[in-house]
Structure 1
Amino acid sequence: GSEGNPGNVIRPEDKQNFTLMVAEFRKQLGKKATLTAFLPAAPAKIDAGFEVDKIFKYLDFGTVQGYDFHGTWEPTTNQQSALFVPPGAPTTPGFSGATSLKAWTDRGAPKKALVLGIPY
């Protein structure tokens, strides 16, 4: 899976265990309850932590993080919540709300089940 907070323990089976956990939640909650997940934007984190083609069998929707694309960990200032990658963006990779949603749909997430989280 993806580390999340520094120091978190990561196990090779975390990706599959997340799918099993979501499936168990759905089983216990039934179809009347809404089941969602807060999801990362970075393709590397998606690939490391999620079986995209499987989890959306159980989730009603997923909220994709649409902010904190850039920050103090980078040497240059950049838009931290851009909807689209601005021309001439000073850093790579070029994260944006649009590229984050595309990363999920490219991996099999249904468009109708994705919500873009925005900063407020």
Structure 2
Amino acid sequence: ASNGNMEPPNVVRPEDRQNFTKLLAEYRRRMGWNRDLTAFLPADPVQVDRGFEAAKVFCYLTFGTLQGYDYHGAWDAPADQQSALRVPKGDPSEFEFSSEVTVNAWLRRGAPRSKTVLGVPF
């Protein structure tokens, strides 16, 4: 099995969306279909739109693990939830992050429900 973990770089170029899809296609071509190919994918819908062709990448993946944590952290003020299933009432953040938001963002962009896995912290 091979797992791709593409951490968002400081710079995401417009062509990187297609480049990631091409990279997965090349991995799949060389590996064949008798091995698992998975990827750890970001939670933030903005990052999904900037760096991924959601419907296309799943054509090459056995499954994709959607990041279900690190929604907020030391970079945020005020402090906020790190891995809520749903956006909490009274959430002080201007950005709504939760597992529900993450999964729905990928599904709305064409990710197949049967190939999505939610990564959770423990």
TM-score by length of 2: 0.89
* 2:108 aligned with 1:112: no
Residue type matched to 1:76 in 2? P
Aligned to 2:94: 92
In the TM superposition, residue 5 of structure 1 has moved relative to its aligned partner by 4.3
Unaligned runs of 5+ in 1: none
Does the aligned pair in 2 maintain the 1:35–1:59 contact within 8 Å? yes
Find the aligned partners of 1:10 and 1:78 in 2 and give their Cα distance: 26
After the TM superposition, list the runs of 4 or more consecutive aligned residues in structure 1 that deviate by more than 4 angstroms: none
Find the aligned partners of 2:7 and 2:116 in 1 and give their Cα distance: 23
Matched residue count = 117
Find the aligned partners of 2:63 and 2:7 in 1 and give their Cα distance: 23
Aligned to 2:105: 103
Aligned to 1:14: 16
Aligned to 2:69: 67
RMSD: 1.6
TM-score by length of 1: 0.90
Find the aligned partners of 2:9 and 2:25 in 1 and give their Cα distance: 25
1:43-95 Cα offsets, whole Å, 9 max, x none, are 11000001112111111111111111011111112110001111111112110
In the TM superposition, residue 3 of structure 1 has moved relative to its aligned partner by 7.9
Aligned to 2:42: 40
Find the aligned partners of 1:81 and 1:59 in 2 and give their Cα distance: 25
Aligned to 1:4: 8
| Partner secondary structure for residue 16 of structure 1 | helix
Does the aligned pair in 2 maintain the 1:3–1:10 contact within 8 Å? no
1:83-118 Cα offsets, whole Å, 9 max, x none, are 111111111211001110000000000011111111
In the TM superposition, residue 12 of structure 1 has moved relative to its aligned partner by 2.9
Does the aligned pair in 1 maintain the 2:64–2:117 contact within 8 Å? yes
Residue type matched to 2:116 in 1? L
Unaligned runs of 5+ in 2: 1-5
- What fraction of aligned residue pairs are identical, expressed as a percent? 52
Find the aligned partners of 1:10 and 1:55 in 2 and give their Cα distance: 17
